[in-house]
Chains A and B, each alone.
Chain A
């Protein structure tokens, strides 16, 4: 037990292993708790708050609505949103996973990802689904139907997921639901790394909820705070869940929002968000420094946990329970907070609420009052024990190396922090077609052994303007080692019209997805353990776009001059100098004289 605790604790603390052990175990227990309470009810929601180091706060919202397969097929929607249900039926989608993400998870400070990474996506939008179709072509056309419909529903550019951004992963994704009843399922996966997730995506997301953000934990979701988070991800997962014998199937839709808020930043009032320097009186100075003076102050690091409350952090109050949730039992505890037992928490409401301490007192859950606001208040407090964060099974970082307009190389560094266990994982890369990897330069090195960590490779090369590169590698990384994966690539030159308006920004490359094969999910289900790297910015050779305009201007000028001259030559009557003399000086007299002269020549000439 003791060794296990040390292995998994992120910061071995002097406070003794027992307390730490408790918190960590309780976390696992708590996660299990969430999972098992799921199946029975038709609607379930929960908010889990967990303070993280460096005054960060993880808020995990989870909403689940079930609809029996029979009523779903009859289009009898109750908790399941009709808008999404009809799209799924039309596109014959059996299982759907949609992710909107922003920012990055700081695994070094925050530890293991929420839901083991199974409910998050890469930066931007990520979508994968299992569709029922007879052939690949049919599957792809249904996929296009799905992406276009979802694009309208979620106000996102999902319709830009075309053939060049779609791959068919082989090893990285497994269906989460029970698909005994369907055959010919096709998995398609698409990403939009450049998509900026913002409030226009949150509003349709909230509309899918039965309480629509008016009551229950979803009433805390405010675009201003959600998109000010250091990291946030919104996910929608639809899957069929069946009983043991394959009957009593229900279609389960799970929506979750995970975000890491910076407590200091979130507490700033909305009308005055500028972090002005604090008055010097409010800064704790290190008076032990020899130079400490009236005008010189070495700031002391604050060790106390910052005080906060829900209304301040989320910018709006929690408007009581959603009436659709269970009135009693596990499902009624909709707000939970995972802190050490010594942390003081005051619930603030005019209505009836119920506090439950579970998981060795490290988790406190609250049954919300109906119809009145609810608030949790945590005062500033000096803590003696801390929450121990689980170490993630792998750390991954990916970057573009090299410089210049022609070539580059990708380097992915994957570290296994475990001292005992080797980790087997699948590494999935989906590259745009204009980034052409040289597979012969693919090298994977492990710093502790000389054996090749790559066990299986699946590679589907790109076709210009038709499809992107799809690379899946199954790799094994020994305990406490670092794996470095590198490969070179060539940058294609795009056609003039293929550049986006901000061509000089570069092109976003979707994050790599790592799926862990060996380690079982701590949630004890088949969601899997995932990890995603950050996206990359690929600078491509870019023409000077003022050039076409220069060319247009120049050609127009030349055309104008040329046309003017030729037109002049064609239509102007040229008159010899003598004739001009003959015509005289002009004016009325000249005209008359010319007429006379012309008449005379005509008469005399005859």
Chain B
């Protein structure tokens, strides 16, 4: 009882309003530190294969001997097609598949994005599994050109050879589809869309032959030319579109087969040298998070993952002593494992962060960090809501600290008291100010927040619709406009409808409330994106509008009040640096990328892959930044 009354008394304590900023800062700090300790042995786990049916590396592989001679011949065939027109190429590849007694079909596709025209042709062959009843299928992909734009000579030749080799086995209990896509991202997307009949029929041809439900897909990327190239390691690429990941079992099976059975080292996230130190692990994890956060397609496998088809790309890297046959045997063993599957891959994790080929953290361990970052916005938002409901501050009547002001002017500082009586007749003296009801004026803050969120549609539209030659201009213009827009908005506010300090607080409160909610929901879908946006938006928790003191106030203005314009200006300057567009520009500068390329890819993602990252940036992050900047800039013009 006494505890409850103590808590109730504390509720009115102005000190309670001083806690949230520290609590928010603590949340962010703990969130970041949480992420930093994940690579430690105590917080991450060794990977393991959960699905018993997979039995990775338990079979002998026979892809050797004369198959190597045939592979070399096919590689010459592929090299001869490197410069030939698309239809001739697909015709010839189809003929090679047909000579192995497979069913062959082609698919034309055409996409338009950023004023460019992406059109090409897929060719695929279906091997009817002798033990299969056309209900399940697994896919082996080689894109004609890999992500770097090189012709995938050896990869395509390997798929052709494996198709011929697999046809002889009688143990396949699933159909095997061999897909040679026109390119690495749009081609597989067009194919997998058409396979599930969710393509737009105007520009994408439907598939003339199909098989059963897809159970897994493996892509090979081996661009060595007709004279071959021995590689050092396999780079396992696993990121899907929108940061979705394949089942960890597939990744583990690939790693276990490649490193355990074939003796090929595996690497991930372009960490060519990995000595398993803390720094390397952390770097791998952060690279994985950035890749997941951007949500772009990272290989031919990416388009399959949104359809709940687990997929990875095996990419050869470096100079070493492994040849094409060891890659072929890896794929053979991997397909034998997938062939064993009785059920769709479901046992292992779908949400994980990898920090080495055999070390990971699962969602239960890493999720709190993004959640804490998201919660910090909610805490501040609640604090601002409480603050907005308070009138003028009431000194604590129970306070025993001598008030210097009341000493000098006792008359002025004695608060108005009201006598209150309870039903039993007991009477108390309560400060009148604390009895006053403060009404919140919601219209202006709500209208402002809604408008700023809808304003985000403009950049979303501009960047997805602008043709490539104008993208740089559009980007620069939008950067300048969005930088100046908060200042202009604040100026307009001050000229026409100056928001009261309560309305200013409410604007920030709603903005942070929405941000916190969006980010915590997003953390369960795309952890990395939520975390990255949360970190970049975290200063918005701490910026405030510094309003001038009330005119009738007689107290001596403090240091902050005296320099409030200068401080507001400095904070606005800081926020300009955190403008999403400025951050994008800085990031592209840091990684040495051209911003136009990034925007072109993003637009392709929007039109082809169904990428949602832009939506988060323009409709969640940017409005929050805008609202925060307007609130701070309000201090400049008051």
Interface residue ranges, A against B (CB under 8 Å): 54, 102-104, 106, 108, 123, 228-230, 262, 264-265, 273-280, 283, 285-286, 289, 291-292, 295-299, 301, 397, 399-403, 409, 411, 502-506, 508, 534-537, 539, 542
A273 to B169, CA, bound (A): 9
> What count of chain B residues pass the 8 Å CB interface test?
44
Complex interface: chain A residues within 8 A of B210 (CB): 397, 399
Contact A504 B346, beta carbon cutoff 8 Å: yes
* B309 nearest CB neighbor, chain A only: A403
Question: Is B101 among interface residues, defined by CB-CB distance under 8 A?
Answer: yes
* B51 nearest CB neighbor, chain A only: A504
**C-beta contact mask, B177-211 vs A, less than 8 Å → 1, else 0?**
00000000000000000001110000000000110
A547 to B411, CA, bound (A): 68
**Residue in A283, A506, A542 whose CB lies within 8 Å of B213:** A506
15 of the cross-chain contacts (CB-CB < 8 Å) are A102-B133, A104-B134, A123-B134, A230-B128, A265-B130, A275-B168, A295-B72, A296-B69, A296-B76, A399-B210, A402-B197, A403-B308, A411-B197, A534-B133, A537-B135
Complex interface: chain B residues within 8 A of A275 (CB): 62, 168-170
A264 to B170, CA, bound (A): 10
**C-beta contact mask, B329-362 vs A, less than 8 Å → 1, else 0?**
0000000000000111010000000000000000
Complex interface: chain B residues within 8 A of A123 (CB): 133-134
* B210 nearest CB neighbor, chain A only: A399
Complex interface: chain B residues within 8 A of A534 (CB): 133-135, 212
Tell me whether A402 and B198 are in contact in the complex, defined as CB-CB below 8 angstroms, given that A277-B63, A277-B165 are known contacts: yes
* A289 nearest CB neighbor, chain B only: B73
Question: Is B77 among interface residues, defined by CB-CB distance under 8 A?
Answer: yes
Closest-CB distance, A504 to chain B (whole angstroms): 4
Tell me whether A537 and B103 are in contact in the complex, defined as CB-CB below 8 angstroms, given that A230-B128, A278-B66 are known contacts: no
What is the total of A-B residue contacts with beta carbons within 8 Å? 127
Contact A298 B343, beta carbon cutoff 8 Å: no
Known: A265-B130, A535-B134. 13 other contacts (CB 8 A): A262-B170, A273-B170, A275-B168, A277-B66, A279-B66, A280-B65, A299-B99, A299-B164, A301-B99, A401-B198, A402-B196, A402-B197, A537-B212
A-facing residues in B55-71 (Cβ within 8 Å) = 62-70
Question: Is B310 among interface residues, defined by CB-CB distance under 8 A?
Answer: no
A102 to B308, CA, bound (A): 28
A504 to B53, CA, bound (A): 13
Closest-CB distance, A21 to chain B (whole angstroms): 27
A279 to B66, CA, bound (A): 6
Tell me whether A291 and B99 are in contact in the complex, defined as CB-CB below 8 angstroms, given that A297-B66, A504-B343 are known contacts: no
Complex interface: chain B residues within 8 A of A539 (CB): 213, 344
Tell me whether A279 and B65 are in contact in the complex, defined as CB-CB below 8 angstroms, given that A228-B130, A297-B70, A503-B343 are known contacts: yes
A434 to B132, CA, bound (A): 24
Tell me whether A535 and B133 are in contact in the complex, defined as CB-CB below 8 angstroms, given that A299-B164, A504-B343 are known contacts: yes
Closest-CB distance, A395 to chain B (whole angstroms): 11
A292 to B343, CA, bound (A): 44
Contact B213 A502, beta carbon cutoff 8 Å: no
Tell me whether A400 and B213 are in contact in the complex, defined as CB-CB below 8 angstroms, given that A104-B128, A106-B128, A228-B170 are known contacts: yes
Complex interface: chain B residues within 8 A of A278 (CB): 65-66
Contact B346 A542, beta carbon cutoff 8 Å: yes
Question: Is B461 among interface residues, defined by CB-CB distance under 8 A?
Answer: no
Tell me whether A537 and B136 are in contact in the complex, defined as CB-CB below 8 angstroms, given that A230-B130, A262-B130, A505-B342 are known contacts: yes
Tell me whether A296 and B66 are in contact in the complex, defined as CB-CB below 8 angstroms, given that A264-B168, A539-B344 are known contacts: no
Closest-CB distance, B307 to chain A (whole angstroms): 5
Closest-CB distance, B249 to chain A (whole angstroms): 12
Complex interface: chain A residues within 8 A of B73 (CB): 285-286, 289, 291-292, 296-299
A504 to B64, CA, bound (A): 35
Closest-CB distance, A349 to chain B (whole angstroms): 30
A-facing residues in B206-243 (Cβ within 8 Å) = 209-210, 212-213, 226
**C-beta contact mask, B126-167 vs A, less than 8 Å → 1, else 0?**
001011111110000000000000000000000000001100
Closest-CB distance, B225 to chain A (whole angstroms): 13
Closest-CB distance, B163 to chain A (whole angstroms): 12
